[in-house]
Structure formats: C-alpha cells, structure tokens
Structure 1
Amino acid sequence: MGTERIVNKRRKFFQTSAALLGGTLLYSIIKPFEAIAQTEEEPTIDDKNLPLWGMGVDIESCIGCGKCAEACKIENKVPEEPFYFRTWVEQYTVKNDGEVKIESPNGGIGGLKQSVPDEDIFKSFMVPKLCNHCTKAPCVQACPVGATFISPDGVVLVDETYCIGCSYCIQACPYGARFMNPVTKVADKCTFCYHRITKGLEPACVEVCPTNARVFGDLRDKKGDLVKFLQDNPTQVLKPHLNTHSRVFYNGLSSEVK
C-alpha cells in the first residue's frame, strides 16, 4: 500500500470528521451492503508470480468438533471471551415443520451438540464460517483511512498501526466476520493465518481439522489441493447476490445457510 495514498485517505477523513460526528455524512462513507459489493472497482492483484490464496470448506465432512475455532483462538491470541472469534462453526437444524434453528455456543469450541429431538429433525449440518477474503471487499471500501487492504496475494488484512477503531468495516462486512478487539482496540478478523502461510505453513484451522473439511491453497496452482477440490465438487459461495467475489468456497451449501 502506497504511503501517499494512505496519507491522502487520512487527510480526507480528518477533513470530514466534524461532519461525521454529527452523522450527516455517515451514509456517504458506509453505503448499503449491496451498493458497496456491486461497485466496479477491483483491487490490484496482478502479480501472477504470487499465489492467490483461497479456502474450500466441505460441509459434508464437518462434524462440528470446534477444533478449528479453538486452534484459531490459540494461534492468533483471540480474546478468551466467548463472543470473539476469527472463525467459528454454526449448527443448522431444519425441523420437519420447516423451522430453521441456528446454534453456535462458544463458536463451536468443545463440540456442537444437538438440542432438537431426533424425531423433529428433517436435516442437520455444520457450517464453518470465517472472513471470505473478498476480491470486491466491502470492508476495504468502507475503511476511511486505508487500514483494511488486500495483500498482493489476495488476503484481506488490517494494518493495526492505521486502524482508528471506527468500526465502519465491521458494519460493512455482510458475513459478520469482523469484531473490535477489546485488547488492541482495532478491527480484528481471520487473516488465513498470514504469519503462517507466508512461511509455507497451513492456517491453524486447516492443520487441526480431523476430517479435512477445510482445504487451503493457491487458486493459481492448477495441480494444488484447492483447485482439485473446486474441480471435484459443485462449490458455492455465501451470499453470491452481493457480488463480493468471495475466495471461500463451500461444498454442500444448503439454501438455509445465511
């Protein structure tokens, strides 16, 4: 990220801060999710010599053990409070009467247990969730100071030295994947364990999954595990109507999943 661009963004933010405090320009900075996601602006990810990271999630293989969420908390020093997660697992239960019950106690850590009687269940499945590392990321466009950005290898990151804690990116994320870290006082989220993948390691959540329900890799590597996963399965992304060009792909995604 260029220093000049960041300085210009910071200058623009402080020039309008007084009006923002009054709330008069909030809408001009934080557009509705649909309007943000459908913008024609594309980030510059044009170095074909670098990987383009992405993740596949096989819902049919996830058993809801929560080891991924636990490993993520430990690896990334996520606050211990039960409502802060970079990744978590939701249990979807569709009842015979059509009601959909969604549960994720403690983000799935410790394992998810069915709370609906068997005779009332039409179907039940687990859905791991995390930042979708969008190519057209609403959070990037919402950040007034350039603290949220897309790395040259396609990972959405937060520069803690620039983040001012305004929470605009948290509001803009349509996947609920961001939170304000109570310790650092800046926006926090999944980074695909960037400190690991840049050293040739897998994200912590992928490494500990006992059923290989998560597949991480380079979307440019035609012989890699992730590309093979995409070729072998009819994958989908969450909320495709938002046109965010997510790089997290799900196999077995049911229409009940939001």
Structure 2
Amino acid sequence: MAVNEIVRMHEDLERALKKPTKKRSWVMVIDVRRCVGDHACAVSCMAENVCPPGTSYRWVFETEYQSYPNLDRFFMPGNCQQCDNPPCMKAANKHKKGAIVKRPDGIVVFDYAKLARSRSAREAAMKACPYYAIVEDRGGYYTEGTPKLEPYETRDFFEYGKKLNRKKTRGTIRKCHFCVHRLEAGMLPACVSTCIGRAMYFGDKNDPRSLVSELIKKEKVWRLKEAEGTKPRVYYIGFEDRAHIAISTPATCQVCHQ
C-alpha cells in the first residue's frame, strides 16, 4: 500500500462526509500479509481513547498455519466488527432498552450511562459477541502509585459524539467505534493512520470510487464467522482459504479473550 493511498483514503473520507449519514457505509479492510505485528495500532488506539490498563479495543495475535517444513506464521489484527446484525445489541437490549444501537452508517454505539446501570446488559453483550471484541473498563491508571497521575490519563476524550473522561466510563463495557469522532473531523481512525505496514484500509463502501470498494471488488475477501449471520463490516484479505482464516478464531489467537 503506497503512501498515496493514505491520501486517497482521506479524499474518500472527505467525499463521504459531504453525504448524509444514512448514505454512508463505513467498512474496514485488513490485509494480514502486510501486518508486521508491532502493535502500534493497539497502542495508538489506547492513547486515542484513553483506555485504562487491561482495556484495549484492538488486538494483534500471532498464529501459525500448516506445519514444518511449510510452517507459516502471520499476525492477525482485529477489533469490533461493527456487525449489521449485532448479537451484542440484541442481547443487551433485552435487559436495558437502547443500551446498544446501530447508526445508519454502520457503527454500533454503546450508551455508557445505560450500560453502567445494568450489569445484566453488560454481561449479556460480552457473552453474545462471537469476536470477543467487548472489554470491561475496570478503572485504574498506568501512572497510579506515582507522585501524580499523568495528564494523558486524565484528559477528556470523545466517543460516540460525547465528551467523556475516565470517571464516566469506569464500570461499563467498551469497544472499537471506528474512531467516529475522528471521522467526523475528517481524519482516519487512529489505527489506520498509525499502521507502519499499511495493512489497514478504511472508507465508504457505498462509494464505488473509494479504495475500500475497489479492494472488496478486486481481492478475495473474507469476513470472520460469516456462518453466524452477524454480517461484519471488517473484511480481511491475504488468507489462502477458509481453513487458513479458521485458525485465527477462538481455538487459537482469540482464546485469551475468553
């Protein structure tokens, strides 16, 4: 992925923002062949969203395919799949109406205030997600126990169009939201901008001129656990076949999220 493709994605984003929200369809494409496993995307995500210790919206797992002498090792990045048929929403809303909703542009939105008031809704959402993409915010700070908390841990941040701080998210559940606050300001998600391997692409699938639309049409794309009917909005390229992608699900790299 050449540098000019970052510029192209910014142009795609600028074009998408001129349309009404309901006319956009945000998707992410991840090329596992380009991921170098440096976890920069996860670090930038935690910094962008002021996540506490033990809370991360992204993961980059290392897994192996086949066996010696044809052993292949690759990295598997991931995050919330922003499902069009989100099981977390159905599960949580049975306990707390409106706790999780779906935006017209595809982003799944968590209402932190409602979720914080319903433990059963939080637990149901986490249990229902087949991607282990939902994490708890148990509080705490990286600089806790030092003379003072550092400003980068106590600063305000934005999620789902709201100005937040760590006190307002403690005790609830959190996940990736495609950096919607950045999108609406004309910037790509933090992980996409940070990735040195240029393994991630982002844009409006409804725009036939967008880079993501081109990749989805041109490449052999896969989506995780399609058989479950979740209709994820994160597409993967670089896998050889269904068996190849199958090893990057709960039996291997996602096991630590169980």
TM-score w.r.t. length of structure 1? 0.69
Paired residue total: 188
How far apart are the structure 2 equivalents of 1:206 and 1:141? 29
How far apart are the structure 2 equivalents of 1:124 and 1:63? 11
Aligned partner (choices 48, 59, 62) of residue 91 of structure 1: 62
Larger radius of gyration: 1
Aligned partner (choices 123, 126, 137) of residue 181 of structure 1: 137
The within-5 A match list for 1:13-32 is none
Query: Which residue does the alignment assign to 2:9?
Result: none
Per-residue CA deviation, residues 131-167 of structure 1 (Å, 9 max, x unaligned), is 0000000001001212111112110110112112432
Query: Which residue does the alignment assign to 2:248?
Result: 257
Per-residue CA deviation, residues 26-47 of structure 1 (Å, 9 max, x unaligned), is xxxxxxxxxxxxxxxxxxxxx7
Aligned partner (choices 64, 88, 110) of residue 158 of structure 1: 110
1:148 aligns with 2:97: no
How far apart are the structure 2 equivalents of 1:245 and 1:95? 28
Query: Which residue does the alignment assign to 2:24?
Result: 51
Query: Which residue does the alignment assign to 2:49?
Result: 76
Bigger proportion of residues as helix: 2
CA contact (8 A) 1:149 1:156 kept: yes
The percent of aligned pairs where both chains have the same amino acid is: 30
The within-5 A match list for 1:1-258 is 49-79=22-52, 81=53, 83-94=54-65, 96=67, 122-143=71-92, 144-145=95-96, 146-163=98-115, 164-166=118-120, 167-183=123-139, 184-253=170-239, 254-255=244-245, 256-258=247-249
Per-residue CA deviation, residues 53-95 of structure 1 (Å, 9 max, x unaligned), is 110000111111110000000000111x2x3210110101236
Structure 2 spans left out of the alignment, 5+ residues: 1-19, 140-169, 250-258
Give the superposition deviation at 1:96: 2.1
How far apart are the structure 2 equivalents of 1:165 and 1:251? 37
How far apart are the structure 1 equivalents of 2:198 and 2:61? 17
Would you identify which runs of 4 or more consecutive aligned residues in structure 1 move more than 4 Å? none
CA RMSD of aligned residues (A): 1.7
Read off the aligned partner of 1:154 and give its amino acid letter: G
How far apart are the structure 2 equivalents of 1:94 and 1:232? 25
How far apart are the structure 1 equivalents of 2:183 and 2:33? 26
How far apart are the structure 2 equivalents of 1:169 and 1:49? 25
Where 2:222 maps in the other structure, the secondary structure is coil
Query: Which residue does the alignment assign to 1:22?
Result: none
